[in-house]
Amino acid sequence: MALLSLRELTKSFGGLSAVKNLTFDVAEGAIISLIGPNGAGKSTVFNLITGIYRPTSGSIGFAGRDITNLKPNAVADFGIMRTFQNIRLFAYMTVLENVLVGRHVRMHATPWGDALHSPYQRREEDACRERAMELLEWFGIARYATDWARNLPYGMQRRLEIARALASEPKLLLLDEPAAGTNPAEKAGLMKLVQSIRGRGVTVLLIEHDMKLVMGISDYVHVLDYGEEIAHGKPEQVRHDQRVIEAYLGKGA
Amino acid sequence: MRALARRFPSLPLGLHRYRLDQLVGGAIVVVALLLVPVLDSNVSQISAFADAGYVLLLAFGLNIVVGYTGLLVLGYAAFFAIGAYTYGMLASPQFNLHYNFWLMLVVSALVAAAFGVLLGAPTLRLRGDYLAIVTLGFGEIVPQLLRNLDKFTNGPNGIVAIDQPSIGSYSFGFNPVPYYYLYFVVICVCLVLLNNLRHSRLGRAWMAIREDELAAEHMGIDTTGVKLLAFSIGSAFAGVAGVIYASKVTTISPDDFQFQVSVMILLAIVLGGIGNLVGVLVGGTIIALLNFLVLPQASNWAHAIGDKFGIGALQGLDLTNYHFMLFGLILVLVMLFRPEGLVPSATVRAELRAEQETA
């Protein structure tokens, strides 16, 4: 059964349709890529799924429930976490604190418990710090734990953003151009990382411009152009699709 | 936990547990402060020290909203007024009600917190300048209401003969010493609570909102609820401060809660170092002592000099009238020479440095 299903999803801004009649499913445990030229509506799809935008029409189902009009924090609570195209870390909080904020929805201490550091709060806090450190170790950034997020090298900030998104143990991870601005070595590391994330049972929906990365790790690819799906299939099929080549390179190429 | 601490020895995994040097340093300060009324028998000085207590409590509360959550609130004195009037009306001859002081300490905190939610709820979508203006308005409305709701508040004359606290058969009376110790205990409790909050789920949520509200929402933080909690908890501190203040002065009027009080508290946290508890303590203490101790004392000296040399201008000089000129001067100097405050949180310092580098 599909973990995430978009049904005839449409989003218009005034007269402009950023996303038109988009329908596709994301199977549990898969790595699915969303590609397309700039302005094709990929990020809009993410914003619709995570509840920043309300769709003009259509619906979004997740794990058997309708999440179409939920607010971002509720969507996160259901188990969908995301990263951002332009990094949006909590710059003046430590790396560890960033990950702990990411775990917010899995922590249940009350404000009273927080203020009094109740036994429950302490147990939970300790357990979460431990989980957070394990996560940072996995991502190879544990040694930065007490540094501010903003002081990390760029590539590490990208990794931290993914770690923060994984801290709450989501079912679905949305990655918005995780490889943007990284060097080839970092890209290779990122590919491995995304695969190991899937290996731990997290479904991944990926927006990416780097074709080598997309073709290398995706199980299935959806191609958008001007808000509409123009092709979908396995990476090999999509790569040779005439409409995809035209969308990227123009007609007659 | 222990295993992890061994693997990462440099990590503050037990951030919420205090280090030995912090405990020893804190103990020395505590003992010194406890001895102040024993060593100093000057009643007006002890009274000034005690009054510093309400300034500190207000600074703590405002620091939650402004320092941690990043919401600029300019009318904070309104919540101080609400706390003071709640106690004043329910424990004075005004309605012939005399509820217990200790009970009212809790009740007023809750009332102020409720008003915090009342102000917070409609203004949640506002940020920065807009929020500052709306809260400024709220800070003006509350004293106006107190002035005009004669039936309840006795108008501009205020409420008089407010009950003083007592423990068993011991009444605090007009002796400032028990108030000093009361403030001392309340402040210590608040410090522990605030430090706990700072290093917990709620405190991190506040700071995440300050850093990037949209990202915070995507991390599953209910930004509406968390901001309302900041408003209400911050206001509760002002409510507590108001009760103790009213019980100590026994007379309150709308003029005690003007905009100037809000500015004084904001100045205290800016001077000390916004977002940092030690900074807030230092800033609040400096501002309070300047206001309650140094300026009246300096006026006395000016009078003495005037009398001795027959200088009329000095004889009648009341320096306490100039405290806002002084506060303004301090604010200008702090912004010019130490914008991060005297004891800044590491965060703010770095933030300002980074801004200067890019500027």
pLDDT digit string (tens) for B313-354?
888 788 878 888 888 898 899 889 888 788 876 655 566 666
Segments making up each domain of chain B, as ranges:
40-358
Q: Which CATH architecture has domain A1-79+170-253?
A: 3-Layer(aba) Sandwich (3.40)
Say yes or no: A67 contacts chain B, CB-CB below 8 A: no
**Residues of chain B with a CB closer than 8 angstroms to some CB in chain A:** 1, 4, 7-8, 10-13, 16, 193, 196-197, 200-205, 207-208, 211-212, 214-223, 229, 233, 347, 350-351, 354
Confidence at B264, pLDDT banded by 50, 70, 90: very high
CA angle A26, A32, A36 (to 5 degrees): 115
**C-alpha–C-alpha distance, residues A221 and B228, integer Å:** 43
Task: Give the residue from B113, B96, B231 showing the smallest Cα distance to B161.
Answer: B96
Q: Per-residue pLDDT for A252 more than 80? A: no
Q: Are A83 and A165 in contact (CB under 8 A)?
A: yes
Q: Are A42 and A207 in contact (CB under 8 A)?
A: yes
Contact B218 A90 (CB under 8 A): no
DSSP letter (8 states) at residue B195: H
When computed from its CA atoms, the radius of gyration of chain B, rounded to whole angstroms, is 22
Say yes or no: A89 contacts chain B, CB-CB below 8 A: yes
Q: Which class for B359: exposed (0-12), middle (13-18), buried (19 or more C-beta within 10 A)?
A: exposed
State chain A's maximal CA–CA distance in angstroms.
69
pLDDT at B312: 80
Mutate to test the interface with A, among B200, B207, B351, B357 (most CBs of A within 10 A): B200
Residue with tokens 């409409």: A243
Confidence at A253, pLDDT banded by 50, 70, 90: very low
pLDDT at B2: 53
Partners of residue B209 in chain A, C-beta under 8 Å: none
Tens digits of per-residue pLDDT, B156-213? Answer: 999 999 999 999 889 998 999 999 999 999 999 999 999 999 989 999 999 999 999 9
Q: Per-residue pLDDT for B64 more than 70? A: yes
Q: Are A217 and A194 in contact (CB under 8 A)?
A: yes
Check whether domain B40-358 has CATH 1.10.3470, yes or no: yes
Contact A52 B214 (CB under 8 A): yes
β A220-225/A228-233 pair status: antiparallel
Contact A168 B203 (CB under 8 A): no
Average pLDDT over residues A21-26: 94
**C-alpha–C-alpha distance, residues B114 and B233, integer Å:** 9
Say yes or no: A120 contacts chain B, CB-CB below 8 A: no
Tens digits of per-residue pLDDT, A183-223? Answer: 999 999 999 999 999 999 999 999 998 888 999 999 999 99
Confidence at B302, pLDDT banded by 50, 70, 90: confident
Segments making up each domain of chain A, as ranges:
1-79+170-253, 87-169
**C-alpha–C-alpha distance, residues B68 and B274, integer Å:** 8
Instruction: Please count the other Cβ atoms lying within 10 Å of the Cβ belonging to residue B249.
Output: 17
CB burial of B52-78 (b: ≥16 within 10 Å; e: otherwise) equals bbbbbbbbbbbbbbbbbbbbbbbbbbb
**Integer angstrom CA distances of residue B96 from A84, B92, B162, B168, B247:** 61, 6, 10, 21, 16
Say yes or no: A211 contacts chain B, CB-CB below 8 A: no
Instruction: Note the pTM of the prediction, 2 decimals.
Output: 0.90
Contact B214 A145 (CB under 8 A): no
- Percent of chain B, pLDDT > 70? 90
Tens digits of per-residue pLDDT, B8-21? Answer: 655 554 444 566 77
Contact B211 A142 (CB under 8 A): no
Choose between B304 and B88: higher pLDDT: B88
Domain topology for A87-169: Rossmann fold (3.40.50)
Q: What is the DSSP string of B40-107?
A: ---HHHHHHHHHHHHHHHHHHHHIIIIIIS----S-THHHHHHHHHHHHHHEETTTTEE--HHHHHHH
CB burial of B176-211 (b: ≥16 within 10 Å; e: otherwise) equals bbbbbbbbbebbeebbebbbbbbbbbbbbbbbbbbb
Closest chain B C-alpha to A86 CA, distance in angstroms: 11
pLDDT at B340: 79
**C-alpha–C-alpha distance, residues B119 and A237, integer Å:** 58
Contact B208 A101 (CB under 8 A): yes
Task: Give the residue from B264, B237, B242 showing the smallest Cα distance to B81.
Answer: B242
pLDDT at B11: 59
CB nearest A82 (choices: B16, B216, B218):
B218
Contact B221 A73 (CB under 8 A): yes
**C-alpha–C-alpha distance, residues A81 and A51, integer Å:** 11
Tens digits of per-residue pLDDT, B115-142? Answer: 999 999 998 888 778 999 999 999 999 9
Say if A1-79+170-253 and A87-169 have the same CATH topology: yes
Task: Give the residue from A31, A40, A38 showing the smallest Cα distance to A216.
Answer: A31
pLDDT at B16: 47
- Across chain B, mean pLDDT equals 89
**Integer angstrom CA distances of residue A234 from A31, A208, A213, A240:** 11, 15, 14, 10
Q: Are B273 and B282 in contact (CB under 8 A)?
A: yes
Mutate to test the interface with A, among B199, B201, B345 (most CBs of A within 10 A): B201
**C-alpha–C-alpha distance, residues A209 and A246, integer Å:** 16
The two structure tokens encoding residue B164:
């003083």
Contact B200 A121 (CB under 8 A): yes
What is the residue type of B17? R
The interface pTM score, or ipTM, of the predicted complex is 0.93
- Which of the residue ranges A25-39, A101-115, B21-35, B309-323 would you say has the lowest mean pLDDT? B309-323
Q: Per-residue pLDDT for B359 more than 50? A: no
**C-alpha–C-alpha distance, residues B165 and B153, integer Å:** 21
Average pLDDT over residues A35-55: 92
